[in-house]
Amino acid sequence: MPELPELEVVCEVLQRRLVGQTLAAVDVLPPGGPIVARDLTGQGFAAVLTGAAVTAAARRGKFLIFTLAPAAGGPLWLAVNPKLAGRLQLAAAGEKRKAKTWLVAALSGGGELRYLDPKQMGQLYLTPDLARVPEYAGLGPEPAALSLADFRARLRAFRGEIKGILTRGECVAGIGNAYADEILWAARLHPYRKRTQLTPEEVDRLYAAMQTTLQEAVAKVRAAMGEAIHLEPRDFLAVHLRSGEPCPRCGGPISVVSANQRLTNFCRTCQPGGLIKGM
């Protein structure tokens, strides 16, 4: 699942490559239309997008937001929520399409912007009001916008296991399964510790780990991804999806727990405090 670091870099690339261009032609490929492309304008997804100029690109949490100036009418937004496997791709017009490509937009400057999604779980919302996009209005602040005092206050509003809280977009935006594992490893906190069990010093450590981990990941993704925005470089991750491998810090084996259709990786030596069955 693309998270804050990947989407931040994708947004940087699209700010350079897409903003200022017009969507000369838009093709929604069946059967992706009714599942992937969600028209909240009532005027037709492809029809409204065709001829629209892209005036801005931004990231908000795990959404990519494109501001559009359509050929007629007021401004609109295209909100991309890639979820588990959705990806955007910049491609040459004649380049072979990857499997499960659901949208192709020809760009006025040449080339195409494509959306592909093997799981067909993500959505593209065309809307005159971003508040109508599911899960968007309730997003919490971006990690970089949070002071330590703000972070402490936001955590107090949530109960339960700390990993689950980190991945709740209404607490803090942009963190998913992978980077929650990385942040908690950096903070030396067990992912299944209850928030109410954390000491003030541990909360401060968690905040510092969140900031450092995400900032460093953005830099590493930027270097590895380049302009290939459909890729998800993660070979630098310390623990996520590395079950059985040695912990980079202590050398002990990385553990894995599968619960609620989600894999959690951590080091039992570096992150003590849980009685969870697993590897």
Element holding 81 (H helix, E strand):
strand 76-81
Task: Give the closest residue to 59 by CA, choosing from 2, 108, 115, 21.
Answer: 2
Label residue 260 exposed, middle or buried (CB < 10 Å: 0-12, 13-18, 19+): exposed
**Residues labelled catalytic:** 2-3, 62, 262
- Compute CA distances 101 → 98, 208, 273, whole Å: 6, 39, 44
Count of CA atoms in the C-beta half-sphere (13 A) of 13: 22
Instruction: Check if the beta carbon of residue 88 is closer than 8 Å to that of residue 230.
Output: yes
Strands 112-116 and 87-91 turn out to be antiparallel
Rounded Cα distance, 209 and 57, in Å = 28
